[in-house]
Structure 1
């Protein structure tokens, strides 16, 4: 068997990045925009024969040159990426793969969480990871005829988010509120979680949860093996909803509330598919019209834009008091700096 050299492919090494792009393209994959570590296996002539990457606690963009398949190279790539993840403290690992590759990863110790037939499989490296997560959620289940869920990023928490929770609270016996816990937003999770709880503390039938790694964000869902943009959105939505159905069953949930999305095309498509999928399985999907500031729908994107441009006073009328107090405190200075340094704060 031939010997290969394993090397890190750094973003600054344009030659190796071009080789990685060429190999991925040859194998029908487009390099994902969200990568934080990449490696390659090179032969004696410095030809790239296999590659793989990480983003946070996920493995992605793995490919072997078709001329070298059957040599166990993907196994080497995955083993190295897992060792690298463990070395940086990530022990709970996830990957997304095509359906016809799921068995291979199962043989390497990954277990299926959910799938969209013919499109994508979501897997993790713990046999009882998701089932254990569901068992923990069951401990928070409460009795009632109407049990609802709201999932929100709250980047940051606005009067629009508050209105959505108030409506869900008034119309249900209990509401499970999941805050996206991945730190891929401009406002960190610990701040978002704190502001959601502070801004809805007057509602006494809410139960708060971090989403963990199972409710999937746009940032971590891979698009590299789905070429059509609408197909990416649809597959993301269906996979996320297939995971959510299991969460709903664990909590006895029969309703999910979402805000109407007049600004984001991605979220608009997502909401449409969510309503179709959930209604079909007996979970009512309630799409709530956005609260307005008197003229326009309240938007977290517009709040971030005002913060970026130094117009903090303008957010006072569209966020709860706790959110405004945070952003006018010294604690907020690092968050404000992050927002001001961001190239883009409006999400479409």
Structure 2
């Protein structure tokens, strides 16, 4: 094992990446389109005999050639990738792996969070990470029926408000999860603030951070980065499988989603949700989009109005609390970010 060295693969190194793809394919793995670090171990003839990658705070696309199993190459890869992550400041790590490899990661101290279709296992390197998150949620559990809404709210619009109102009227307690991943044009701290202000008058609504467990770069990177439909669906299934455990902790039996006529990735997510959640006793309700002047209200429309400086159009599409923020000096850096972003629509 000591004779092997690990090399970084640059995105421009198409020859080595082709060998990475070939090894992954033999192991039944498709290389993710969105990776920010890839490394390999090669033999004397420059054949790739082991590979691993990172994206955000996740380890993925891990494989060792069958002929080199038992030589400690996977352990060497994982140690290297964890060092890369720690150098980046990422200490809470997640890994996707095949079911057959899960025990290896558990032996390294990773803890299983969820399994998908008996083929994929999702783990983290904290023994009490997800369980601690669930305990925090359980403290907000109330008697009676419970529902859930998950919002990115980039930013919070009258459409989001309509969805929350409809859902809150149908259950005793509505749990609203705000996507914590800071990959949107409107920062998480602002998005959560606007959600909290926008639902403050609804007494049965509880607002939560989603943490790294709901629509995050760990569970559902396709929400933030363009991927093909097959990859989107795989990520959606993982995210929904994790949500099932969250729902169990809170006694959630209904999930409410907005109708999605334009976003491909959200449309796929909603379709998978409609297939999977009823199997575990969670009813999915698709709420028709709120329309103003014959057009559905969307955060993309609000971002486009902000991009061109049309605050009057923004005011027509958002709650007063959201408008007050964007009309204030505090919003200047966010508006500038939106103005220089190019395409502000969600694919």
Scaled to the shorter chain, the TM-score interval is 0.7 to 0.9
Asked if 1:172 corresponds to 2:171, the answer is: yes
Q: How far does residue 2 in structure 1 lie from its aligned partner after superposition?
A: 5.9
Partner of 1:320: 319
Partner of 1:19: 16
Partner of 1:132: 132
Equivalent residue pairs, number: 340
After superposition, where does 1:66-77 map in structure 2 within 5 Å? 66=66, 68-77=68-77
Over residues 64-108 of structure 1, what are the superposed CA-to-partner deviations in whole Å (9 max), with x where a residue is unaligned? Answer: 345544322221111111122233332221111222322232232
Q: How far does residue 218 in structure 1 lie from its aligned partner after superposition?
A: 7.0
Asked whether the equivalents of residues 52 and 62 of structure 2 are also in contact (C-alpha less than 8 Å), the reply is yes
Give ranges in structure 1 of 5+ residues lacking alignment: none
Distance 1:341-1:31 versus aligned 2 partners, 3 A rule: farther
Question: Is the partner of 2:323 in helix, strand or coil?
Answer: helix
Asked whether the equivalents of residues 155 and 185 of structure 1 are also in contact (C-alpha less than 8 Å), the reply is yes
Q: How far does residue 43 in structure 1 lie from its aligned partner after superposition?
A: 5.1
Asked if 1:236 corresponds to 2:232, the answer is: no
Distance 1:153 1:201 in 2: 17
After superposition, where does 1:2-13 map in structure 2 within 5 Å? 3-11=3-11
Over residues 237-292 of structure 1, what are the superposed CA-to-partner deviations in whole Å (9 max), with x where a residue is unaligned? Answer: 33222221211121122211111111123322322331232223222211110001
Give ranges in structure 2 of 5+ residues lacking alignment: none
CA-based RMSD: 2.5
Asked if 1:185 corresponds to 2:184, the answer is: yes
Distance 2:41 2:330 in 1: 45
Distance 1:19-1:65 versus aligned 2 partners, 3 A rule: farther
Deviates more, 1:108-117 or 1:23-32: 23-32
Distance 2:107 2:297 in 1: 48
Deviates more, 1:213-222 or 1:146-155: 213-222
Partner of 2:212: 213
Partner of 2:108: 108
Partner of 1:50: 50
Asked if 1:61 corresponds to 2:58, the answer is: no
Distance 1:331-1:25 versus aligned 2 partners, 3 A rule: farther
Question: Is the partner of 2:213 in helix, strand or coil?
Answer: coil
Q: How far does residue 62 in structure 1 lie from its aligned partner after superposition?
A: 2.5
Distance 2:138 2:221 in 1: 29
Distance 2:15 2:63 in 1: 14
Asked whether the equivalents of residues 259 and 287 of structure 2 are also in contact (C-alpha less than 8 Å), the reply is yes
Deviates more, 1:321-330 or 1:153-162: 321-330
Distance 1:48-1:332 versus aligned 2 partners, 3 A rule: farther
Deviates more, 1:185-194 or 1:328-337: 328-337
